[in-house]
Structure 1
């Protein structure tokens, strides 16, 4: 079925449920590592720096391949690519379940495959929403898709902590396999959707993909290992140089090819560019969860479940406000709810950065902060996604959705990596600046200081997101 005939099939709740379940295989199950990383690291005997890479590498590989898979879905069919992603998640989850101690091989392989799974599922499901739902029905479908992604990220800390503390973290990925099977069965049989074949054979942009991979993997290692090896270490400096050269080559290649897998011309649309950039920055705030949850486990001795319980307001808020964001979009357009959402998110993260408080005071601040974090993301999610998808031509929707979701994945990958690097790199400093500000216990001041700096970095990203929205997204309500 081509885009020209896609309207002959109208999406239904069965398809929407299958899509949402497919989406949460990443945002709920794969993202539980943000909370259970200390538990997994201890049981498997893996150093914290390697575990940080395992946490971020899924989003990194999702970001690397998400545009490729979005374009592939346009060409061979979005349903096929979605089902492939669901299968890959089951395979990746199984490898994680089978991970033995004292080696990172199974864990890393499983996390990379989960990243490839997300690369298949995210753009293809968004393109299916664009093809099979219209007007208010599409906004409703996007809201439920957002509940699966943003809501899944809200539940992952609580769910992961509960499972790890009561049943063992491996059961998380057994359940992920079961959800994948259900998602496959619900989506299977859906009429295919793809771009009409124009009869022109286009080779794959291998040179662009390879230079893109080299650039991003190099940068990820620099960010993840720089604090451990030293920023002036020859390896780190060499990889930084590799990133600069590879990215420059990638940009040149993509601007000289008709079949470039990242079409930079899409960014000529200011609204799309603003939605995508702010999406990158706000997803980068995922580092907030890793740092804040690690803080209360390292500094206060909380279990993963106890730490996850602090995020219950985040879960409730994001699930309650995503549909509110949809209504605000219909009333005001995208710009205002996106700005309000980012502002509330920044306020929530700022409260989480107040690690200088007494423990009981910080717990109160954290509960309020997580709740505000969830409200802000809920207001932002649907307006941002709709602004991106509604402002691109029909024949570019798969690639555009892929780039938009690439921004999500790469934002999360580098946000987590940079936040983790700041946190682990500063937690052993001997002379903490303004140590007098930290009340209560004196034996964990360095850890609390490191967390504060890492969390303030996340506040900064949300503020930059607000500036990008104000500069690019129009004030008027877009015509449907």
Structure 2
């Protein structure tokens, strides 16, 4: 075989290993909410407690997403990518064999670290294995795989619960991850960033987790403890102290997890907050609808029916997003972001009027509005994040926005779950029928997410004028993946190829 053929074959193997792994990781991530009622029934653990299987995953992912990329740069991207796959397989087996909710949650926490590592190092491996247009095509396919996985996850989870039990998803994912390990072993060459300092910001990683854990615990338990209780205030105080410690550490380390100088960039800060709001509200919505649709006192859907019911939101988001870059190029990025959040706000307001008599068809229009709005805001916000900085800061800007997705998903899901559960409990104590209590809980959480979405409209006004993506095929793929990962677009400074998080 010629050298050119060998290089082409090897690049194809890297593409296959990274695209399949990111598809599996994103499908797994988005499927879990659909599985929670079945896991609760099998393990005897309340859905309220199992919420940590969702928020714990995002919490650890926020702490690890940047660090895992740094570990790959220093110790070898292939080695760290393989470690992520090993952890993913181990966590899948652990969850599939779990006899308790605590074991499921522990497995999902490990899976959060594994998933973030696979995404961060997989994208780096793909970038260094290709050059020029081949790299753009490869990264675009990776983005498309991420988007398809996220959209297909709830439906796949619903199908597997009916066919194999909820454990089937994790056994299948473990098997696919093992195949990716073998493919990586054969086709992927090791690579490092020889110019990068060898230091890793481990303290920053730990402090991110210490900041988020008491924050989410305080939000989650506030319904039981009270918002002004000593325990709740103590959690928030610990979170603030850890956040302050994180800032202090980042000012002193040689290679910080977060370059604080980036926070002086108004476009980057605005787009990052927009990304956080978007990720938070869509994850909170999917979590609540997965529970509401399956509850016997509301629609009483099977897991498969619930997965099908969420398709207007998941598939709609992916279908609309690739069309947005051309719209943003004509109207302007911040105008498109603002319009998207306005439409999302309207969708959440509509769900805020839900009552127990609503049939599924009443949810269709607001779900479509939310999906279209999210599609309009996600892509331009991600594009703005990488377009607003010099070429040598693109990787850092991408890391900030990717971390924001995990933070938004963790905090907003915890907040939505707390509001939902608290209102249901209060309504039930007041003698309301269970169906009415569930609808009241969903309505209250939806109004809260409508407020956050409206803040996204205001945030769009803060974002200054910036370069917009031209609307190329690569821009469309980046926009489709934008609700899971930030990829550089044609607007990125210098057409940078640095796609590391």
TM interval, shorter chain, is: 0.7 to 0.9
Structure-to-structure mapping, 1:30-429, within 5 angstroms: 30-100=29-99, 103-128=100-125, 143-188=140-185, 189-197=187-195, 201-202=198-199, 204-285=200-281, 286-298=283-295, 299-328=298-327, 334-356=333-355, 358-360=357-359, 363-393=360-390, 396-429=393-426
Distance 1:227 1:121, change over 3 A: same
Task: Give 1:472 deviation, angstroms.
Answer: 1.9
Asked whether the equivalents of residues 220 and 414 of structure 2 are also in contact (C-alpha less than 8 Å), the reply is: yes
Cα deviation for residue 418 of structure 1 reads 0.7
Contact 1:211 1:246 in 2 (8 A): yes
Larger deviation: 340-349 or 114-123?
Answer: 340-349
How many angstroms does 1:68 deviate by? 1.4
Number of aligned residues: 461
How far residue 448 of structure 1 moved from its aligned partner, in angstroms, is: 0.8
1:456 matched to 2:447? The reply is yes
- The verdict on how the C-alpha distance between 1:125 and 1:239 changes in structure 2, with shifts beyond 3 A counting, is same
CA contact (8 A) 1:195 1:395 kept: no
Alpha-carbon distance between aligned partners in 2 of 1:237 and 1:206, rounded to the nearest angstrom: 27
Deviation at 1:301, TM superposition (A): 2.1
1:280–1:442 distance in 2 versus 1, CA, 3 Å? same
Q: Against the structure 1 CA distance between its residues 133 and 404, is the aligned structure 2 distance closer, same or farther, given a 3 Å change threshold?
A: farther
* Residue-by-residue CA offset, 1:250-301 (whole Å, 9 max, x unaligned): 2222223333222211233333323322111111011001112212222232
Shift of the 375–425 alpha-carbon distance from structure 1 to 2, 3 Å rule, reads same
After superposition, the Cα gap between the structure-2 partners of 1:338 and 1:415, relative to the gap in structure 1 and judged at 3 Å, is: same
How far the C-alpha of 1:336 sits from its partner, in A, is 4.3
8 A contact 1:64–1:216 mirrored in 2: no
**Residues 1:324 and 1:218: Cα distance change in structure 2 (over 3 Å):** same
1:346–1:373: 8 Å Cα contact kept in structure 2? yes
Cα distance in 1 for partners of 2:389, 2:131 equals 15
> CA, structure 1 residues 317+222, in 2 after alignment: closer, same or farther (shift >3 Å)?
same
Instruction: Select 1:444's aligned residue among 432, 435, 445.
Output: 435
Alpha-carbon separation, structure 1, partners of 2:88 and 2:190: 21
**Further displaced range: 452-461 or 15-24:** 15-24
Residues 127 and 139 in structure 2, CA contact (< 8 A), matched pair in contact too: no
Gaps of 5+ in 2: 1-6, 469-490, 496-501
Match of 1:465 in 2: 456
Contact 2:96 2:170 in 1 (8 A): yes
Distance 1:459 1:148, change over 3 A: farther
- Indicate the RMSD between aligned Cα atoms, in angstroms: 3.2
- Which is worse superposed, 376-385 or 33-42? 376-385
Q: In the superposition, relative to structure 1, how do residues 77 and 271 fare at CA in structure 2: closer, same or farther (>3 Å)?
A: farther
Closer, same or farther in 2 for the Cα pair 1:283/1:63, shift >3 Å? Answer: same
1:329 is displaced (CA, Å) by 5.5
Using structure 2 for the length normalisation, give the TM-score: 0.82
Which stretch has the larger CA shift, 302-311 or 110-119?
302-311
Q: 1:249 to 1:221 in 2, by over 3 A?
A: same
Cα distance in 1 between the residues matched to 2:332 and 2:179: 35
Instruction: Tell me the distance in 1 between the aligned counterparts of 2:357 and 2:138.
Output: 43
What secondary structure, in the 3-state scheme, does the structure 1 residue paired with 2:252 have? coil
Per-residue Cα deviation, 1:25-49 (whole angstroms, up to 9, x for no partner): 3321133121221221111110233
- The structural deviation recorded for 1:410 is 1.3
More displaced, 250-259 or 380-389?
380-389
Q: Distance in 1 between matches of 2:23 and 2:421?
A: 29
Provide closer, same or farther for how the CA distance between residues 144 and 256 of structure 1 changes in structure 2, counting only shifts above 3 A: same
Match of 1:20 in 2: 19
Structure 1 stretch displaced more, 37-46 or 149-158: 149-158
Closer/same/farther in 2, CA of residues 371 and 85 from structure 1, 3 Å limit: farther
Residues 430 and 347 (structure 1 numbering): CA distance in 2 closer, same or farther, change over 3 Å?
closer
Shift in Å, 1:79: 3.7
Deviates more, 1:443-452 or 1:8-17: 8-17
What's the TM-score, normalizing by structure 1? 0.85
Shift of residue 414, structure 1, vs aligned partner? 1.0
| Cα distance in structure 2, aligned partners of 1:396 and 1:77 | 21
Cα distance in structure 1, aligned partners of 2:194 and 2:260: 22
Partner Cα distance (1:134, 1:375) in 2: 34
Q: Give 3-state SS (helix, strand or coil) of 1:82's partner.
A: helix
